[in-house]
């Protein structure tokens, strides 16, 4: 499907609707367009919402990869020490398997959404190391062979490029990243292993810190297969050097994935803002398509009614490709075009 650069939002919306109708007829979909370029298109999903038919059908027909929004985080799967709740994570993996989709596991080691027993446990450094390795073995081991890629370590740096002051860094220093990656490789040898972070999509101290970490891991022979760029942007303000940053990380000999893309708009969203958003979605997809080692694009959610954005960014919303009524926005046609347009 060809689409000239988005101008008038109404025209783009008509093309987006046509894209969805084509998808229902077995033609152009977001996932299909990505596959045509040798990549995947995914979204973070809430397993509880899969009971809702419109949401489930969008997820089933438009995506070739899914990420658990919260269902695989430590606080969700082991709320009490030694007592596991895998139901929601299992449901997402089963959904993906039923629809031939990849799964990006998210996330094994993070400073946030940890169970209270762990945060308040007053564990020694040696105990925290053992607990971290055991958690990775339990979760990655449970889904061994079912996960395409794991965000093994999530958000290790602050915006100024310093190490984040997490319980993991306090216990083990920077070595916790290598320890986690090695544990993940032992638990699931075939899964791709990623370090994932935000505000690393433009040259700056945080981007350089992540680049330096990945370079050092590669030099030391630590298993690291990819870098995840979360990419939570404001529509109209996508970094101008985004494509160059994607290529720079890829030059380290690792895959690159856009892992949590959304483009928030100051509400109410008008035609001009939706057109700018569509242009930005296309530019991100295009940057990925133009980098051979950029393997895919995942949005953090698929419909605006389940986006995290309004709760975290006051006055902003409308950040995802489909609106709160599950209707395609101009972004849908722009993403399809970004994956499928011929190079100039």
Question: What are the catalytic residues?
Answer: 155, 260
List the one residue out of 217, 125, 119, 212 whose CA is nearest residue 162.
Answer: 212
Question: Which of 17, 100, 92 has its CA nearest to residue 63?
Answer: 100
How is residue 58 written in tokens? 């969008």
**Residue 104: its H or E element:** strand 102-109
Where on the phi/psi map is residue 175: left (φ > 0), alpha (ψ -120 to 50), or beta?
A: alpha
Contacts of 27 (CB under 8 A, 6+ apart): none
> Angle 196-119-165 (CA atoms, 0-180°, nearest 5)?
50
65 within 8 A of 29, measured Cβ to Cβ: no
| Cβ atoms within 10 Å of 343's Cβ, excluding its own | 6
207 half-sphere exposure, CB direction, 13 A CA radius: 18
**Structural tokens at position 23:** 């998808």
CA angle at 337 for the pair 281 and 271, rounded to the nearest 5°: 55
| Beta-sheet pairing, 316-317 with 226-229 | unpaired
Kind and range of the H or E element at 28?
A: none
Partnered with residue 255 across adjacent β-strands are 226
**Is the bond leading into 107 cis (omega within 30 degrees of zero)?**
yes
């Amino acid at each position: 499907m060809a689409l000239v650069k988005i101008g008038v939002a109404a025209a783009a919306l008509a093309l987006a609707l046509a894209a969805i109708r084509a998808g229902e007829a077995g033609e152009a979909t977001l996932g299909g367009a990505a596959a045509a370029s040798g990549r995947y298109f995914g979204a973070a999903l809430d397993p509880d919402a899969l009971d809702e038919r419109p949401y489930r059908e969008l997820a089933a027909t438009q995506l070739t990869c899914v990420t658990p929004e919260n269902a695989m985080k430590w606080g969700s799967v082991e709320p009490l020490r030694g007592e596991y709740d895998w139901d929601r994570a299992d449901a997402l993996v089963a959904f993906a398997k039923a629809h031939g989709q990849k799964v990006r596991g998210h996330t094994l080691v993070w400073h946030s959404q940890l169970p209270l027993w762990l945060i308040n446990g007053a564990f020694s450094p040696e105990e925290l190391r053992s607990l971290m390795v055991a958690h990775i073995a339990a979760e990655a081991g449970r889904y061994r062979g079912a996960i395409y890629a794991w965000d093994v370590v999530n958000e290790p740096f602050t915006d100024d490029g310093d190490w984040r002051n997490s319980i993991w860094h306090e216990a083990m220093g920077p070595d916790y990243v290598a320890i986690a990656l090695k544990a993940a490789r032992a638990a699931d040898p075939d899964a791709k292993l990623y370090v994932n972070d935000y505000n690393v999509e433009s040259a700056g101290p945080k981007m350089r810190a992540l680049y330096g970490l990945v370079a050092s891991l590669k030099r030391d022979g630590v298993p690291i297969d990819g870098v995840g760029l979360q990419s939570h942007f404001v529509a109209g303000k996508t970094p101008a050097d985004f494509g160059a940053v994607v290529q720079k990380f890829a030059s380290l000999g690792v895959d690159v994935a856009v892992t949590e893309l959304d483009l928030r708009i100051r509400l109410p969203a008008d035609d001009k803002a939706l057109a700018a958003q569509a242009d930005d979605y296309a530019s991100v997809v295009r940057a990925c398509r133009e980098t051979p080692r950029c393997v895919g694009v995942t949005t953090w959610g698929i419909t605006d009614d389940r986006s995290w954005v309004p709760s975290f960014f006051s006055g902003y919303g409308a950040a995802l490709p489909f609106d709160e009524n599950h209707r395609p926005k101009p972004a849908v046609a722009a993403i399809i075009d970004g994956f499928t347009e011929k190079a100039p």
